[in-house]
Structure formats: C-alpha cells, structure tokens
Amino acid sequence: MDKFRMIFQFFQSNQESFMNGICGIMALASTQMYSAFDFNCPCLPHYNLAYGLGILLVPPFILFLLGFVLNNNISMLAEEWRRPQGQRGKDPAVLRYMFCSMAQRAMIAPAVWVSVTLLDGKCITCAFCTSVPVESLGNASHPRLSQGEIERVLARIPCKDIYNGQQLIANEVAVRYLRCISQALGWCFVLLMTTLAFLVRSLRPCFSQAAFLKSRYWSHYIDIERRLFDETCAEHARSFAKVCIQQFFEGMSTDLVTARCHLPRKAPADAGEAAEKLLGITDQGTMNMALKSWHRCKPPLHLHPPALPTGNGWAGEGQPPTYPSAPRRETAAYYSWV
C-alpha cells in the first residue's frame, strides 16, 4: 500500500505527472479492451474490409478523443484561446505548446491499440483475405469459378468453421501469409512511433530550447494561475457563506429575543476573520462584476513596471513618474562588556 500511495502522490505532484499517469492507464486499458474484445469477422466479400479497418481505426480515434476529454488542460486551452485580449496579450507559441503536449499524450493509447491490433493480425486477415494471391499460394487452375465466386470463397478464410475452399487454397497458408504481413506492418509502426518520439525528444532542444522553455514556463503559469484563482474563489465563497449564515442566525436571535423566547448566543470568534477574507466584495453583483473583469481583461504580467529611460530622456511624454521613497532609518547599536 505504501508503494501505491507513493505512486499516487507522484501522479498528483504536478499536471504533467498526472496526465502521464492517465495516459499510461489508458494505454493499459486499450490492451485489456482488445484482449477482451470478441472479434467476429462477417466473412462476406463486401463487409470484411469495412469491419477489419473499422476495428483497426475507429477505436483509436475514440481513444484519441477520450485522451483530450480526460486532459484538464483542454478547457484551459479553450478559455485562453477564446478569451478577449484585455490587458494581457495571448502568445500563440504557448497555445501551440499546450495543444502539442495534449496531442502527444492523447496519441499514446491509440498507438498502443494499433500496434497490438497489427501484431495480432486478425483485422488484416479479415480485411484483406480476398486479396490473397491464389496464383502463387494456391491452385488457381483447379476449379472453374468466376471472380465473384472466388472472392466469396476467399472471404471465408477468417471463418475456419465454414471455409470450404481447401482445394483452392489452404486455410492455414492464407492465414499465415496475411498474419506475417500484419506483423511486419505492426513492427514497422512501432519502429516509426519510437523513432518519431526519439527525434522529438532529442532534436527539439537543439533548435529552439529558449522558445521551448518560455512556452513551457508560461503554460505552467497559466495552469497554476487558474488553480489559484479557483482556490481563491472557493475560499471567498466559503467566507461569504459563513458571514451570510452568521448574519441570518443573528437576525433570528434578535427576533427571538424580541419575542422573549431565549437569550441570544455569542457570535463566534471566526466571524471577523471570515469578513476580512471577503476583501470588500460583499454582494452578488460585485462578485459577478469581478469574475467578468477577470475573464475580459486579466491583469498584465508585470508586478512593478519600471519607467525605462531612452537616450536623452524618458520613454513617455512629460516628466518621469515619481515614486515616494520610503524613509531610510539607520540604527547604531553599541555593546560593552563591563
């Protein structure tokens, strides 16, 4: 249990670790789904291709969309992309970094599904069984069948129980031929994905390391700022609710004292602390205005903007802004041992 707790704490340490854990779980889930999936080829000439390629491509697309849905940054990316300009500019490089990061993680589970499917070979066998070269692998001169009848016989290759074309081509030969091709495609796909991942990880810092660090930093900043804003709003809502409930019970106590029912109770000591956390926002309209202002014009990302001088003067018109300087106090202390 301690190891699982440590792993869970590692996944919760930051957003990237959490999403890496989610993608790993989805990759394992995709393999389990494929192993539990009951593959039944229709064994019909016009349906085998659609069924085989559908099983090969449709679940990876669903897993790709599911990877975006489970990623918490997708809503943050949409908000940052659609928000008004306001007092803070939007950096397209940061948006591209966030989208590429989510896309790379969302591609893990589909890549695992495609790799497992190709290495297993059932989908390729079902989809391309009618394309088996009978001239080189079978006895094409034995029966006098039309092209449609030959395709109907070859379409039953994945269904060993109803296959009746042993004299045309042996079922084991056709299945092994198609499975070898499928496994070769599977290993090529794994090699291609591994090579692409290696190139992205190794060559990207060599060309744009400064831009990459900048985009990564501001992506983390947007995530942290959003979480802190949510926590601040939740804390304000808690304090607002506490003060509202306190005022309600104080009013009820006053009414009960007027009606001579019982004595009023003393107000709790933390009511003043809750009122201080409201920061002057004490009604619904002001809070709604603050939330709209945060969405429309976020504050600029400079805490203490200095007035930069130019060659012979200040950048702005007029006199440079003056800031009141804090008085300096010097204190001398003398110690003597007598």
Q: How far is CA 142 from CA 139, 148, 168, 248, in A?
A: 6, 16, 7, 95
Q: Is the pLDDT of residue 314 over 50?
A: no
For range 21-47, the mean pLDDT: 83
**Where are the chain's structural domains?**
1-207, 210-258
- pLDDT tens digits for range 153-178: 889 999 988 888 888 888 899 999 99
For range 140-165, the mean pLDDT: 81
Residue 313: per-residue pLDDT: 44
Between 53-57, 151-155, 166-170, 315-319, the lowest mean confidence (pLDDT) is in 315-319
Q: How far is CA 252 from CA 242, 258, 281, in A?
A: 15, 10, 24
Residue 117: per-residue pLDDT: 93
Max avg pLDDT among 206-215, 281-290, 329-338: 281-290
3-state percent breakdown (helix, strand, coil) of the chain, nearest 5: 65, 0, 35
Q: Which residue has the tokens 């602390």?
A: 273
**Rounded Cα gap, residues 295 and 297, in angstroms:** 6
For 15-37, give one letter per residue: b (16+ CB within 10 A) or e: beeebeebbeebbeebeeebeee
User: Residue 238, Cβ neighbours under 10 Å: how many?
Assistant: 12
Q: How far is CA 206 from CA 1, 194, 199, 211, 296, in A?
A: 42, 19, 11, 11, 38
Between 144-148, 211-215, 219-223, 256-260, the lowest mean confidence (pLDDT) is in 256-260
Q: Is the pLDDT of residue 181 over 70?
A: yes
Q: Coil, strand, or helix at residue 317?
A: coil
- pLDDT tens digits for range 243-265: 888 888 887 777 666 655 554 45
**Rounded Cα gap, residues 57 and 113, in angstroms:** 9
- pLDDT tens digits for range 221-236: 888 888 899 999 999 9
Between 117-131, 198-212, 241-255, 322-336, the lowest mean confidence (pLDDT) is in 322-336
User: Residue 240, Cβ neighbours under 10 Å: how many?
Assistant: 19
Token readout for 139 is 């006895």
Alpha helices in 259-334 (DSSP H): 271-276, 284-296
Q: Is the pLDDT of residue 76 over 70?
A: yes
**Rounded Cα gap, residues 338 and 330, in angstroms:** 26
Nearest to 108 by CA among 199, 28, 212: 28
DSSP per position, 173-201 = HHHHHHHHHHHHHHHHHHHHHHHHHHHHH
pTM (whole model) above 0.85: no
Residue 317: per-residue pLDDT: 44
Q: How far is CA 328 from CA 178, 306, 331, in A?
A: 86, 21, 10
- pLDDT tens digits for range 191-210: 999 999 888 878 777 777 78
Cα four-point dihedral sign 213, 216, 222, 226: negative
**Rounded Cα gap, residues 169 and 164, in angstroms:** 10
- pLDDT tens digits for range 278-295: 777 888 888 899 888 888
Q: Is the pLDDT of residue 109 over 50?
A: yes
